[in-house]
Amino acid sequence: MMLSPVAVSWMTGKSLLEYRFGPAATLARYLGWDNPAFFASPWMARFTIQAMDAWVSIPFIMIILLAGLQAMPKEVQEAATVDGANGWQSFWHVTFPIMLPVSITVLIIRIIFKLKFADVVINVTAGGPGGATDTVSSFIYRVYRDRSNFGYGTALAMVYLRLIIVLLTLMLRLSKRWTQRVT
């Protein structure tokens, strides 16, 4: 979590998963995989990029959720146990409503992380093979850098920003209604 995504993508994507001399490829050859090219086929490249993204972002999400669970008052759980609630009832009627604001915050943060996800893609595959691992953010970056099409890149970025604002606003409104209904 303390490493930047570019450092993680360099360490894993360019070093560990390198198809000729990387340790993961060597292990895969030893286990019987003939051509362990992690970024050659579109489906494998997508899977590998998503695994690297999960490795970067899941620890942060888990720390937030753990902090929410630790901040939950123990008396409420004890009261549910005294009232005869089993584990599932205690989770659904006590833990879930209390953790709902934290969970919604985590979900919004994760969506924002996914919408801005470009650094690992740009560093490892540059959108390849054939654009299979491209994200909107990495595509906009490549329009600016590779094609030097600043007007089109700016228009794409502005449309994308507006879509993100609309999506997150709707999500916040829906989550506020849902939180009020559940709690």
What are the strands, taking DSSP E only, across 11-114? none
Residue 82: domain span: 5-182
Number of domains composing the chain:
1
Q: What is the CATH number of the domain that holds 162?
A: 1.10.3720.10
Backbone angles phi, psi at 131, to 5 degrees: 80, 10
DSSP annotation of 134? -
Residue 49 CB burial class (10 angstroms; 0-12, 13-18, ≥19): buried
What the block records as the tokens of 6 is: 């570019």
Q: What is the pLDDT of residues 137-158, one digit of tens each?
A: 999 998 988 888 899 999 999 9
How much is the pTM? 0.78
Q: What is the pLDDT of residues 87-128, one digit of tens each?
A: 899 998 889 888 988 998 999 999 988 988 888 898 888 888
- Residue 33, CA distances (Å) to 29, 37, 44, 148 in order: 5, 10, 13, 40
